[in-house]
Structure 1
Amino acid sequence: MTAPVPSQAGAQPGPGTTGGTADATAQPLTRPAPEPGPASGCPLAVVVVRDGIVPLGADEAVAEAGGAALLIGSGTKEAAAELPPLRRAWLAEAGAFAPARWAAALAGVLADAGPLLLPASPDGRDLAPRLAAALGRPLLAGVTALREHGADLIRYGGRLAMTATVSGSFVATLQPGIRGAEAVPGEPELTEVDLELPQCPDVEVLEVLPPDPATADLAEAPRILGAGAGLTRGGEPSGTAAIDLLGRVAAALGASVGATRVVTDAGWADYQRQIGATGVVADPDLYIAFGVSGAAQHTGGLGAPEHIVSVNLDPSCPMTAMADLGIVTDAAALLRELADRLLTADEGER
């Protein structure tokens, strides 16, 4: 039997209209706290769970939805304990990730629900468009703020901010690291949901391979070496050479390369490597910042790393102030020293 889920009285699911014109009268989306049965019109977070692990930004999506969430995947009950903002959750144990089958099954369950909010994690970005298509709703991707009839979005690597307006309910992916999420007192109310997964063409997980740190999504990277203006201050050709050397050192350490907007705007690193409020939101275990001053635009995308090391000539810069270890020296010189110690003639053996 399928458990009831939040409904939006009077909602007419169906394609809405989107646009790039800012709505000056738009108000933040209201988030009523769920009652024993969630309040009518309350948005719902949809969180993909893998073996009890929730993705980055899941807690923010749940908080944005007023504490109401549907958790789908494997280990959903364990995952519920990892979401402090959770008030009430519907748990759908659905096995391995199958976005097409899940979307088809959820379409019937969530047909009358309010706005559906997913974290902009790899799985969330994969499921959201399928869910929107199955429900006949508009998709708002890369949302930085929700509005009563739409959302604020970022586009083109953070170069464009726009407001999209929609009619009716929608599906949205939320940029993590922007909202924050506060814990709520008490234990959440949990309800199990039995989904009937239809047979339809879908992806099949044959094997899970560890990601290549050089190309891995920074949102999932456990270790990141960050490049700032202090590392590339010599400009061309030293800027390109510095990023290349940083990549080789990162590979030797099993880490990924990140960068500030100054570095990506100069063309020394791809925009996919940009960490910040208008770039990728990362949450690594270790972040080593080479020549990064720590501007708010950059640190706004850092999440909460367990350990931060700052290499900078300025001992009073914001990045050094927030670091667990500050090394006051020339970032480029220290990087070259690391390269001398870590890199061998045959780097392919590492």
Structure 2
Amino acid sequence: MTQVLNLPTSAGAVEAYRLVGTPIARPATTPVFNRIAYAAAHVVSAPERDADPWNRPAIDWDTTLAFRHHLWSLGFKIAEAMDTSQRGMGLDWAGAQELIARSLAEARTVEGADLACGAGTDHLDPTDARTLDDVIGAYETQIEHIEKHGGRAILMASRALARIARSADDYAKVYGRILSQTKDKVVLHWLGDMFDPQLRGYWGSTDFEPALDCALRIISENERKIEGIKISLLEHEKEIALRDRLPETVLCFTGDDFNYAGLIEGDGRRHSHALLGIFDAVAPAASKALAALAAGDSATFRAVINPTVPLSRKIFEAPTQYYKAGVVFLAWLNGHQSHFSLPAGMQSARGINHYADIFRLADQANILDRPDLAAERMRHFAGVYGIA
């Protein structure tokens, strides 16, 4: 029976909504892609053990790791302990260390499973950083932990470096020092200030062209130690400008949660690979689309992936840094966790109208895996806000 439920609208009304989507079937075997596709995965809180949720949130490790198995089974690599995991917004370095160790150990139990882990400086309060050596030391601490557990790093942007760097040369010094020491190639991470306002002016400038020149200089000087660079600026023209100037040996990973479909497909000359938080939320659809693209079926790729873009744009709308709430909301609707709560109570960062829009768009994009369960949970959730 088709589910109908009352949902609020941005106009202040309540309207009946009838579900229309069709769940996407899981592949019989793990699919193979012709794009490298990292899904940045969220962590699952443990609200029944949350005595101090803002400062020391409890994590449900079993459910967190089960979700990684879900992503691996769909063909994704995992970008672990990234901003999707609420690094610096609910998950501190102590929690990230445990997450990294557990996930790397778990990956070794799954044939073909792969992941890379975020290394940043978030255990160093930006206000405590006095010199570039302070930032270098913080990066070294985190990379040492990752490599000790057999992992490789994604070099996350540093709030501390953004605060104290005075020029592109400062960025070149820090990244050059770190990259000279890493055991394996790393992925660089260009995260725009819409994701983290404290990163404004990263690469030494608030203007794109000088920042691009700085990033490309660092890549050129350290090319043999760089697998690729993820760029998350939510403007596809800027990603293409970077992509077109990268050395052949360095990959471009789209982090553009507004325009990923066209960037991944490419322009017939070059394409982007992917490292995306939205793949956490739309994993079955993205997996089916990427498998179709690998088989040369661009029409199916577009038909499956394009409906997820309006959903992603809603989840990542401003203030963009709160997108984690929408990602976890869908994990709850789809039965991957038993509750809708985030570390540090971050679910409160969005309102009921935002969540109602996500529900509608997820249904229309065929993202609700278990429509009856999703409708039941959405009905109860809306009821908390007084919507009968």
TM > 0.5 fold call: no
Higher strand share: 1
Higher helix share: 2
Structure of higher CA gyration radius:
1
TM-score by length of 1: 0.30
* Structure of greater relative contact order (alpha carbons < 8 Å, 6+ residues apart): 2
TM-score by length of 2: 0.28
